Structure 1
Amino acid sequence: MTAPYPPHGRTPAGPPKWGITLPLPGLTIDRHRFLVERLPDLGYTDVWSAEGGGTDAFTPLAATAAWSPGLRIATGIVPVHTRGPAVLAQTAATLAQLAPGRVLLGIGASVPAHVTDINGIPFDEPFKRTRDVLRFVTRALRGEHVAGDFDTFSITGYRLPHPPAEPVKVILGALRPGMLRLGFTEGDGAITNLLFPKDLPTVLGAVGPQPPGKELVVKVFVCPTEDTDHAHRASRPFLAWILNREPYRKFHEWLGNGELLAETHERWAAGDHEGAQKALPDEAVDGLFISGSPEECRERILQYHLPGVTTIQLYVSLPPEVFVSRSRLLDTLARLGPAAG
């Protein structure tokens, strides 16, 4: 069932868009065409990609635009430090030629591990850099000539030779109030992730009134299996790692989850990474990386559909037995997603 109406003066939620993050773990992008072609039949409206230490964000979206031309394509997210502002604008404009009116460019600060540790780029002034890139990209995508000094970079002068004929939405990966408000005041919305359903009213309260057309995307992590041991083995190392990145540690402290995660933070800070994994409470593992039968997972996913949430973006970690056939993989995603309702 849809989650209860929250006290933020919002109108009742309409049907959200449903997206899936590609590539699926364990399946290289060249093996996704059959899946992408069938996603609309399963009720999915979007394909999302992300960029950290694995697949780049844009190649899966270009392939999706060719394989299933009705889907929205979106990045969630691209780090603002690892590409120049003009390159980001060019890439989004090029994608818009393949999917006019169906492109969302999600950008954000990311974490030092994805910026400095593997790219050798300083993780300097993440909020200001995100704000400056947002301002540059939104102007460039409107076809404006952009020149001058921003706080974190200077532009001699740039204009897109072929700005998108239909708008590209630019949204921010946002966790705490400053970035959330920036996404809604100067961008087209925000993406939040790795939070409990009970935390969403706090995020919605920080966002405030949402003008029509703005996006609030909630990324939900799912492992559709009734083998709890497998689900924990698949999710616990990732959760221990990400929740001990400074932006996520501060995010959960703001949400009021600091005490729940205190021991894993203490052990990680002491250099005991294995101990930090073990100290992560099952309550956190099960709440932040949903597992169970596809039907059970779907019921819990729907808890994130509060008024104000426009899109549910799934990150799906499938158990090995689902990969035995294409039909089983498609059946699992069908039972997990919007068409099952």
Structure 2
Amino acid sequence: MRLGTSLTYSGDPRAAADQVAGWERYGLDVVWVAEAYGFDAPTVMGYLAARTERVEIGSSILPLYSRTPTLLAQTAAGLDAVSGGRAILGLGASGPQVIEGWHGVPYDRPLARTRETIEICRAVWRREVVTHEGIHTLPLPADQGTGLGKPLKMLTHPVRDRIPIHVAALGERNVRMTAEVADGWHPFLFVPEKAADVWGAALAARPAGMAPLDIVAGGALAIGEDVTGLRDLARPLIALYVGGMGARGRNFYHDLVCRYGYAAEADKIQELYLSGRKAEAAATVPAELLERTSLIGPESYVRERIAAYAEAGVTVLNVTPIGDDPGRLLAQVKELL
């Protein structure tokens, strides 16, 4: 397995980049840059490219609805060029609250949109003359514009004609599509012991002959004899996603936790969170879920969790080190991989 970590939405991106440059020496393989409705990820990724030498730099994620497919392709190609072939284009549909609330565009046909975007990006990187009919029609038809649009190909030459594309997906249909066409998959709240039951059929859709699908998963990391209490730090975040990231009936994270076997708890978390009782919602998060979605405990326990992730097919162990010396933690877990 490769070792990865994620930069959060908050904080000073320059200080974070300096940190990542140091972590590179401890064996960090991949750094992921979040966006949501904070700083745009590509700006931070470009700065990271200048501050690092070896680590791969991925977006996690760029929302599909925020940019045209050709702009996504241009952005990834530019990042790949300035990083010397170290870019990973992480894509996702996000959700209607962010897409319609922040970007002001309809949240429609996320699966078809993802598939089309991947097709168009790869055509751009191959420097083909790009034409496409579907949700995205290129060139734009005359009855929808001036009629002056013409088929174009990329002016510049990408470093690679197939930059890795990863997709953040949770639902069965979306995971199946990811297995069929993408290079990597980013689940959330990944429980290794439940992965085969929840996603096994969808992941089996990977076509023969394609390279194995990268699976990026992990959790909070702390190693020691007296650190298990740190698992509780994840309670507010899990409560936010399960309870507040979507309305009733349209919350992918709530549905996932139900599929894991915690339906009663998921319903209660959602009810409490949406009624403003966030602390009670956090207290309701099952201790077993906290344990299984983290790497927090004695070294022997962390070693067992790493083995569980590997058994579940994870190829990039993505961790969030907790403690005063995150570099030391990354070095420790790197030795265990």
State the TM bucket, normalised to the shorter chain. Answer: 0.7 to 0.9
Cα distance change on mapping 1:242 and 1:259 into 2, 3 Å: same
Q: Is the 8 A contact 1:218 1:304 kept in 2?
A: no
> Structure 1 residue 77: deviation in Å?
1.6
SS at match of 1:334: helix
Q: Is the 8 A contact 1:134 1:170 kept in 2?
A: yes
SS at match of 2:215: strand
Q: Structure 2: how far apart are the matches of 1:27 and 1:268?
A: 26
1:332 to 312, 329, 334: 329
What residue number does 1:170 align with?
A: 165
TM-score (norm 1): 0.80
* Alpha-carbon displacement from aligned partner over 1:146-167 (angstroms, at most 9, x marks no partner): 224323x333244222242322
SS at match of 1:69: coil
Q: Is the 8 A contact 2:99 2:105 kept in 1?
A: yes
What residue number does 2:241 align with?
A: 242
1:139 to 123, 135, 144: 123
Count of equivalent residues: 314
What residue number does 2:56 align with?
A: 72
Cα distance change on mapping 1:31 and 1:295 into 2, 3 Å: farther
* Alpha-carbon displacement from aligned partner over 1:177-200 (angstroms, at most 9, x marks no partner): 211221222222322121212122
Q: Does 1:200 align with 2:183?
A: no
1:181 to 161, 176, 184: 176
Cα distance change on mapping 1:170 and 1:307 into 2, 3 Å: same
Q: Structure 2: how far apart are the matches of 1:273 and 1:125?
A: 32
Q: Structure 1: how far apart are the matches of 2:253 and 2:329?
A: 30
SS at match of 2:105: coil
Q: Structure 2: how far apart are the matches of 1:180 and 1:204?
A: 10
Q: Which moved more, 1:133-142 or 1:74-83?
A: 133-142
What residue number does 2:322 align with?
A: 318
Alignment RMSD, CA only? 2.8
> Structure 1 residue 83: deviation in Å?
1.7
Cα distance change on mapping 1:298 and 1:67 into 2, 3 Å: farther
Give the unaligned 5+ runs of structure 2: 140-150, 246-250
Q: Does 1:304 align with 2:302?
A: no
SS at match of 1:175: coil
Cα distance change on mapping 1:35 and 1:207 into 2, 3 Å: same
SS at match of 1:224: strand
Q: Does 1:218 align with 2:216?
A: yes
1:48-59 alignment, distance < 5 Å: 48-59=32-43
What residue number does 1:12 align with?
A: none
* Alpha-carbon displacement from aligned partner over 1:6-52 (angstroms, at most 9, x marks no partner): xxxxxxxxxx11111125x7752211344333334322211111221
> Structure 1 residue 255: deviation in Å?
4.1
Tell me which amino acid in the other structure corresponds to 2:184. G
Tell me which amino acid in the other structure corresponds to 1:185. E
What residue number does 2:154 align with?
A: 160
Q: Which moved more, 1:213-222 or 1:254-263?
A: 254-263
Q: Is the 8 A contact 2:321 2:330 kept in 1?
A: no
SS at match of 1:81: helix
TM-score (norm 2): 0.81
Q: Structure 1: how far apart are the matches of 2:303 and 2:16?
A: 22
Q: Is the 8 A contact 2:10 2:38 kept in 1?
A: no
Q: Structure 2: how far apart are the matches of 1:122 and 1:101?
A: 34
Q: Structure 2: how far apart are the matches of 1:285 and 1:84?
A: 37
What residue number does 1:13 align with?
A: none
Q: Structure 2: how far apart are the matches of 1:91 and 1:286?
A: 38
SS at match of 1:107: strand
Q: Give me the identity figure in percent.
A: 24
Give the unaligned 5+ runs of structure 1: 1-15, 323-327
> Structure 1 residue 295: deviation in Å?
6.7
Q: Structure 1: how far apart are the matches of 2:58 and 2:299?
A: 24
> Structure 1 residue 141: deviation in Å?
2.1
Cα distance change on mapping 1:290 and 1:309 into 2, 3 Å: closer
What residue number does 2:82 align with?
A: 98
